[in-house]
Amino acid sequence: MEAAHDTWPAPSGAKRNSGPLAQLGDLSKADPDKITVIDFYAYQQISFITPTQLWDALKPGDAYRFVDCQEATLMLAGAIRWDVKDDRDIHKEATFLRRKDNAKDYGYFQDSLFPTDPHKLPDVVIFNCQFGVNRSPMMAFWYMRYLLKTYPSTVPDRPNVRALKTRVYILEGGVSGLESSGTPRGLQSLLYDPSKKSGASGSGTSFASSPQPTNQSNMRRVTSGVSKPN
């Protein structure tokens, strides 16, 4: 199968992340389909992305969601809280399905990640946890696998290609990486501030406002409300 998103950073989840790869044996036991082509393809379609790459890749008009796989004190403002910090079964599909099938219990709208209309899928979904090692890669894998099995390909005339509208990323270094020097200020402004109500979970797009620039003509705005320089 061909890569679905050639213009975006090359899929690297299967190569760089030791967490899910180490769990392949457990996945084969938990998944009645065993390790199938779609499992490996799902791995190939999730990518690690650095904060700088993410900031550069986001485009005006993109609908994107952050999914937090840690805990509230470490999350990004407005992120969807999946809270798998203390879940020992992060490698099992059932852990993902609980968060998909019980959206209200996790404080978000199901259509934000799992719309009935495939045209309403988000353009970008970024999974994050504290360090980006185990929790977010596993949830990203199950999410991508579900998309591949559920939604039609965007290139139906090419039977050997499974391409989806949604790009799925794992924030490299996790939320801790956003605190490092060199991280774009626009992303740092999304770090959760418990004193602000805007940090509440919901659609995944109600992010905290970034500092307003003095030169408004030199800015472009993406749908999350985060300002980006041209």
- Give average pLDDT by consecutive 10-residue segment, the chain, 230 residues: 36 42 45 57 78 81 86 70 77 88 91 91 88 81 88 66 78 77 75 57 41 28 37
| 102-129 residue pLDDT tens | 999 888 999 999 999 888 899 899 998 8
pLDDT for the residue 184: 76
**CATH superfamily, domain at 13-229:** Rhodanese-like domain (3.40.250.10)
Ordered by start, the domain boundaries in the chain are 13-229
Can you give the chain as a three-state secondary structure string? Answer: CCCCCCCCCCCCHHHHCHHHHHCHHHHHHHCCCCCCHHHHHHHHHEEEECHHHHHHHCCCCCCEEEEECCCHHHCECCCEECCCCCCCCCCCHHHHHHHHHCCHHHCCCHHHCCCCCHHHCCCEEEEECCCCCCHHHHHHHHHHHHHHHHCCCCCCCCCCCCCCCCEEEEECCHHHHHCCCCCCHHHHCCECCCCCHHHCCCCCCCCCCCCCCCCHHHEEECCCCCEEEC
pLDDT for the residue 91: 77
